[in-house]
């Protein structure tokens, strides 16, 4: 009978260790946010710490060229500085996803994302539709019907519910990529689902976003080819959305401002407040104090104010390069997702915050390392890569070998000279302990809590450490409260302590001298 071989889960899935830890990082982060968890909750913190740990292991296992290490270190350093200045973890989440995409399949990430998002998104909705849990309910004046209820169905806000469905559509289209008539059939079915979600969320901006994405996707994939004019228009999406979002609230006045403010549901007014009350810095800063319920819903404004000019410029430049590259390579599914997300950034905050919904960063990270990979071998900076794990293991082996040789030399020298070195160490120990004994500050008394001493025939003493006399030279042990009754000890207790410090000082000096003498002679022999 043929012997069955044990097959690990990693081998069944055909994954390398670095891929496995990236997918663990990605799934943990996405699952945490897919459940609607927010900062401050225990499960959120647990999920984020677990995901961050998997990311660190992934980076350690991945081979990077010197240029890739430099770029990763630079971006990582800038993101940490921005986090320290702003207090916002979103920039760390973004760059963990971006920098983790080295040697990772975009398609596999989207497949995993679709599986997780389907379970968490629809599972959360079903739980709340069946009344198994409470969710946020708002009463807003909407649809010209007066005040009606808006449901979040387990998510932090009704707007987040609508945006989460848009992310589900993007993941679905990218994984299955329906063509021909199925493009329209799938779009129609998903739009019906969008209308159902809107029935509960009543999120205007989220509903418009879904429409923009569906139109962009259907238009792009059904065109035989993208013309130069269409390419030009697609490239205008980024500067138009970012400039309107940042310059518009400050530059526009009168009726023009009112129109944009109404279309964006008062977001222009909110952006104007923060843009005029907070300084724009190079490396980011925390938000200025604002009236109650004033928040930044525009991703571009929040990125610029919270993370600073450098990171904002990098992200905008990265999007610009990515759009041009994908137009050249005719990658229409990716372009549709990027267009939808960039348009959403004008009215939604999820592009650069802790929501972990900006799936276009997956493309950005993959393209970054693809462009660096294309230049490998040209110069020293683009030489073949190596991983931190490999270098660390190699350094450990070398250190172990050197340490073994060194210890052997030390032991050999110690055997030859143990008596001589011991006499020298003893003499130094006696001299040092003698000097310490002469200069030891002998306490006049030792005070201990009565609860930690045998019964003594004396009245308890109460000591306030903050009001001790200037000439007080006693020891107060195990007491942090002036209300604790203390017992006072003199005589032999102090003498025993005196003997202990002398013996300990001699022992420590003797051992230290023996180690140092042995090490010096061991080094001399090796060198």
pLDDT at position 170, please?
Answer: 95
Q: Burial of 24 by CB count in 10 Å (0-12 exposed, 13-18 middle, 19+ buried)? A: middle
Supply the mean pLDDT for the chain. Answer: 85
Q: Under a CB-based contact definition with an 8 Å cutoff, are residues 362 and 96 in contact?
A: no
pLDDT tier, 390 (very low <50, low <70, confident <90, very high otherwise):
low
Rounded CA separation 225/330 (Å): 9
> In this predicted structure, what is the pLDDT of residue 241?
92
- Measured distance CA(279)–CA(486) in Å, rounded: 58
Distance (Å, whole) CA 101 – CA 58? 10
Cα→Cα distances 34→5, 125, 128, Å: 38, 11, 14
- Which tokens hold the place of 397? 């082996």
Q: Computed from CA positions of residues 152, 360, 386, 75, in that sequence, does the dihedral angle turn out positive or negative?
A: negative
Mean pLDDT of 159-171: 92
Residue 264 to residue 260: CA distance in whole angstroms: 6
| pLDDT confidence tier of residue 349, bands split at 50, 70 and 90 | confident
Q: What confidence score (pLDDT) does residue 386 get? A: 56
Q: What are phi and psi of 458, to 5 degrees?
A: -160, 160
Averaged over 237-244, what is the pLDDT? 93
Is a pLDDT exceeding 70 seen at residue 346?
yes
pLDDT at 398 > cutoff 80:
no
Residue 14 has pLDDT above 90, yes or no: no
Query: pLDDT: is 140 or 312 the higher one?
Result: 312
Q: Residues 447-462: what's their mean pLDDT?
A: 74
Distances in whole angstroms, Cα of residue 10 to Cα of each of 20, 54, 311, 355: 7, 15, 36, 29
379, exposed or middle or buried, with CB in 10 Å at 0-12, 13-18, 19+? exposed
Please report how many Cα atoms fall inside a 13 Å half-sphere around the Cα of residue 487, on the Cβ side.
14
Q: What would the two tokens of residue 286 be? A: 């925390």
Lowest mean pLDDT of 318-322, 376-380, 398-402, name the range: 376-380
Instruction: Find out whether 89 and 355 touch, Cβ atoms under 8 Å.
Output: no
Say yes or no to pLDDT of 293 above 80. Answer: no
Please report the pLDDT score of residue 2 as a whole number: 44
pLDDT band of 3, cuts 50, 70, 90: very low
């Amino acid at each position: 009978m043929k012997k069955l071989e044990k097959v690990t889960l990693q081998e069944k899935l055909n994954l390398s260790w670095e891929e496995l830890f990236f997918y663990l990082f990605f799934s943990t982060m996405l699952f945490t946010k897919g459940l609607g968890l927010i900062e401050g909750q225990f499960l959120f913190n647990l999920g984020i710490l677990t995901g961050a740990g998997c990311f660190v292991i992934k980076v350690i296992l991945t081979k990077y060229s010197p240029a890739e290490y430099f770029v990763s270190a630079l971006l990582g350093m800038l993101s940490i500085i921005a986090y320290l200045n702003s207090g916002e973890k979103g920039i760390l989440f973004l760059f963990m996803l971006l920098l983790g995409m080295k040697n990772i399949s975009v398609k596999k990430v989207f497949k995993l994302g679709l599986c997780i998002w389907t379970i968490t998104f629809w599972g959360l909705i079903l739980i709340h539709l069946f009344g198994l849990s409470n969710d946020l309910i708002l009463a807003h004046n909407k649809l010209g019907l007066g005040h009606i209820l808006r449901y979040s169905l387990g998510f932090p806000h009704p707007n987040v519910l609508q945006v989460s469905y848009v992310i589900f559509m993007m993941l679905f289209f990218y994984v299955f990529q329906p063509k021909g008539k199925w493009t329209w059939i799938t779009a129609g079915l998903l739009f019906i689902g969008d209308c159902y979600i809107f029935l509960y969320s009543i999120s205007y901006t989220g509903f418009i976003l879904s429409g923009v994405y569906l139109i962009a996707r259907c238009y792009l994939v059904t065109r035989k080819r993208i013309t130069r004019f269409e390419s030009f228009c697609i490239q205008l999406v980024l500067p138009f959305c970012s400039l309107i979002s940042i310059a518009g609230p400050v530059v526009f006045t009168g009726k023009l401002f009112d129109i944009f403010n109404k279309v964006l549901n008062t977001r222009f007014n909110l952006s104007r407040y923060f843009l005029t009350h907070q300084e724009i810095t190079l490396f980011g800063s925390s938000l200025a104090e604002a009236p109650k319920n004033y928040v930044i819903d525009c991703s571009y404004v929040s990125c610029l104010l919270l993370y600073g000019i450098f990171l904002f410029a990098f992200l905008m430049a990265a999007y610009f390069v990515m759009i041009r590259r994908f137009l050249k390579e005719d990658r229409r599914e990716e372009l549709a997702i990027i267009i939808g997300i960039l348009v959403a950034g004008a009215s939604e905050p999820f592009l650069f915050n802790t929501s972990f919904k900006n799936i276009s960063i997956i493309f950005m990270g993959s393209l970054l390392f693809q462009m660096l990979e294309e230049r490998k071998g040209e110069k020293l900076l683009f030489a073949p890569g190596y991983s931190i794990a490999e270098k660390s293991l190699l350094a450990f082996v070398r250190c172990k070998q050197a340490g073994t040789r060194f210890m052997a030399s030390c032991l050999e020298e110690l055997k030859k000279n143990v008596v001589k070195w011991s006499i020298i160490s003893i003499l130094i120990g006696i001299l040092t302990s003698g000097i310490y004994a002469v200069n030891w500050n002998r306490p006049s008394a030792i005070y201990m809590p009565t609860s930690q001493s045998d019964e003594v025939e004396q009245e308890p003493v109460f000591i306030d450490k903050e009001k001790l006399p200037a000439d007080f030279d006693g020891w107060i042990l195990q007491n942090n409260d002036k209300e604790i009754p203390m017992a006072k000890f003199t005589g032999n207790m102090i003498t025993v302590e005196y003997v202990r410090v002398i013996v300990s000082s001699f022992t420590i000096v003797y051992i230290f001298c023996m180690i140092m003498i042995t090490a010096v002679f061991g080094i001399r022999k090796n060198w």
